Amino acid sequence: MTTVKTGSCACGEFNYEVSGDPMGLAICHCTACKKRTGSAFGMGCFFPKENLKLQGEYKEYTRIADSERSVTHRFCTKCGTTIMWTAQAMPNGIAVAGGSFDDPNWITPPLHAWGSKALPWFQFPEGVNVFAENPNKKVVLKQE
């Protein structure tokens, strides 16, 4: 049986369903993720694009990441919450913001990207891989 997870933006106008298990999970401390979230890091859950169903209106914004590759964010037109993004480095995948899931308790990211840009007070959990910069996508993804 395929698992279906649901989530939405802060106001609930832009929501989604994603089926199956994620290809990968990661926390990112890059400058762009900090600005995107307004927090110390971003958390991405990577799925094949075809596993995602969207409902509601959204806008897109494309930026250049610390990796010097483009990333396109999708965000709610009403409340502005970024729900997901696609990256030039992973053309067949889509990253869903971990905090946007209705039940995010299943998420346990095994790695931290751009650890060199983590805020000084941040303590990396024991047992996770920490990469100074962006790891190879094969490290992030469980399957290619």
Residue 87 to residue 102: CA distance in whole angstroms: 24
- Distance (Å, rounded) from C-alpha 81 to C-alpha 86? 15
Q: Are 19 and 3 contacting, i.e. CB atoms less than 8 angstroms apart? A: yes
What is the fold of 4-120+127-133? 2.170.150
Half-sphere exposure of 72 (CA within 13 A, CB side): 9
What percent of the chain shows pLDDT beyond 90?
A: 65
pLDDT of residue 142: 60
What is the chain's Cα-based Rg?
A: 14
Ranges of each domain in the chain: 4-120+127-133
- Give kind and range of the element (H or E) at residue 139: helix 137-140
Q: For residue range 96-140, what is the model confidence (pLDDT) as tens digits? A: 999 999 999 999 888 999 999 999 999 999 988 999 988 766 666
**Partners of 48 in beta bridges:** 93
Here the tokens at position 82 are 């970024």
Least confident of 41-45, 76-80, 85-89: 85-89
